[in-house]
Amino acid sequence: MSGHRRWIALANALAVATILGFPAPVGADFHTWVATRAVPAFGHGGIGLSCAGAIAIGGGFDTLDGDGLALLSLEFQDDGGSGQFYGDMRDDGGGAGSFKLATLCDDDQPEIDFVELSFSAASGTTSGASVVCPIGTRAINGGAKVLGTGSDVSVAMLSPGFLFDGLGTRLFERPDGTGPPPFTWWAHVLNTNAVIANGAAASATCVPFEWRPLSTEVKSGSAVAGVVTSRTILCDPGSTAVGGGVDAGDPSGLELVGSGPVFGGPLLPTRLADLSDGPHGAPIGWRVALRNGAASARPFKAAAVCAPEPGDALLGAASLLTLGCAVQLGPMKRAH
C-alpha cells in the first residue's frame, strides 16, 4: 500500500471509531480491558482481569471515589497461562468507594518473566525494595502486595528502576525527558503501625530484549501536603504506554491512589477512572496520583514506559467487541 493510501485508510478508521463511540484504533497487538471494583466500608475488594487469546503484560488502577481507600495489592499474576492483573484496595475511612483496574494485553503473546521478592515493611515508616529482571530481559511493569492482614499497611509507590549509568538507578534520580528502558522495579510500602512490622512483596513483569524497543518518559512533580496530586506523562506519537510509576526522594506520608494508563488524544487524554468497563485501545501515556499525609510537600518523578505500536495494523471497533475477557473477583489465591 502506498504511503498516501495508507494514511487515507488510517483517517477513515479513526473517523469510523469516533462515529461509533469506540476508542481510536491502534496497533493491533495492543489493547486494554477495564473493570470496576466496589470496596465496602472498612472492608476490602479485589479483582483480577485477564486477556483471553492474548497475554497480560501488566496494568494499573485509578481510584473512583472513597477518600479512605488504600492500595493493598497491584500485580501481574502468573497463572501458568496468559496471566492476569490483580488489584485490591481497603477502605480505612468508613465511606466505602470503588476503583478501576486496567489490564494491558498483547496479542503477540510474548514470553513473560514474572519476578517477585518478599521484604519487611518496618513499623512506623515507609520501606522499599527493588526487583531485578533476569539477564536478557527488561522491566515493563511491576507491582506490590501487602502480606498477611496488614491492616495498617498500604502501597506507597511503584516505579521503574534502571541500570547504573551515572544518572541514578532510582526514578527519582533520573533527569526529565526521554531515558533508557527500566531493568528493575521498585515498590515502597507504608506501615503506620508504630510497633509491628509486616510482610510485603515487590514484583516485576519482564520481557526479552527482542520484544520491542523501549524508552522511559520522565516528568517532575510535587505532592502538595494534605491533598491528592496527580501527574500525566505521555509517550511520543506512535508509541503506547506499557507501564509507569512514581518515585519520591522522601516517601514518608505518601500513599498511591492512582497509577494507570491514559487514553485518547494528547491534548485531552482520558484517565482510567473516566473509561467505561470493557475493551479499549492502547494507552498513550500514564497517570499517577499520590495522597500526601505529611505536613510538607514531597517532590517526585513520574514516568511512563513506552513501546512503539507495531506496523500499520489497526484494531477496529468490530474486532474490539470480539476479543475475550475474564473477570475474577477477589479475594483469591495469588501466584507464588
Measured in whole angstroms, how far is the alpha carbon of residue 144 from the centre of its chain?
11
**Three-state secondary structure readout of 205-235:** EEEECCCCCCEEEEEEEEECCCCEEEEEEEC
In this structure, are residues 142 and 205 in contact, taking their beta carbons and an 8 Å threshold?
Answer: yes
| CB count in 10 Å sphere of residue 147 | 18
Domain count, the chain: 1
User: Which triple of cell numbers denotes residue 285?
Assistant: 501515556
In this structure, are residues 31 and 300 in contact, taking their beta carbons and an 8 Å threshold?
Answer: no
Let me know if residue 240 belongs to a domain: yes
- Amino acid 11: pLDDT: 34
Q: Which sign, positive or negative, has the C-alpha torsion 277, 11, 55, 72?
A: negative
Let me know if residue 334 belongs to a domain: no
Let me know if residue 171 belongs to a domain: yes
Let me know if residue 336 belongs to a domain: no
- Amino acid 252: pLDDT: 86
Picking from 150, 45, 148, the residue whose alpha carbon sits closest to that of residue 96 is: 45
- Amino acid 188: pLDDT: 94
> CA 74 to CA 84: how far, in whole Å?
11
Let me know if residue 335 belongs to a domain: no
- Amino acid 77: pLDDT: 87
- Amino acid 66: pLDDT: 67
Let me know if residue 181 belongs to a domain: yes
**Three-state secondary structure readout of the chain:** CCHHHHHHHHHHHHHHHHHHCCCCCCCCCEEEEEEEEEECCCCEEEEEEEEECCEEEEEEEEEEECCCEEEEEEEEECCCCCCEEEEEEEECCCCCEEEEEEEEEECCCCCCEEEEEEEEECCCEEEEEEEECCCCEEEEEEEEEECCCCCCEEEEEEEEECCCCCCCCEHHHCCCEEECCCCEEEEEEEECCCCCCEEEEEEEEEEECCCCCCEEEEEEEEECCCCEEEEEEECCCCEEEEEEEEEECCCCCEEEEEEEEEECCCCCCEEHHHCCCEEECCCCEEEEEEEECCCCCEEEEEEEEEEECCCCCCCCHHHHHHCEEEEEECCCCCCC
Q: Which sign, positive or negative, has the C-alpha torsion 261, 267, 273, 277?
A: negative
Let me know if residue 206 belongs to a domain: yes
Query: 482481569: which residue's cell?
Result: 49
pLDDT by 10s per residue, the chain, length 336: 333 333 333 333 333 332 223 333 344 589 999 999 999 999 999 999 999 789 999 999 999 976 789 999 999 987 767 789 999 999 988 788 999 999 999 988 788 899 999 999 999 999 999 999 999 999 999 999 999 766 899 999 999 999 887 777 899 999 999 999 999 999 999 999 999 999 999 999 999 999 999 999 999 999 999 999 999 999 999 999 999 999 998 888 899 999 999 999 888 999 999 999 999 999 999 999 999 988 999 999 999 999 997 653 333 222 322 233 344 444 333 333
User: Which triple of cell numbers denotes residue 335?
Assistant: 501466584
Containing structural domain, residue 221 = 3-329
| CB count in 10 Å sphere of residue 64 | 18
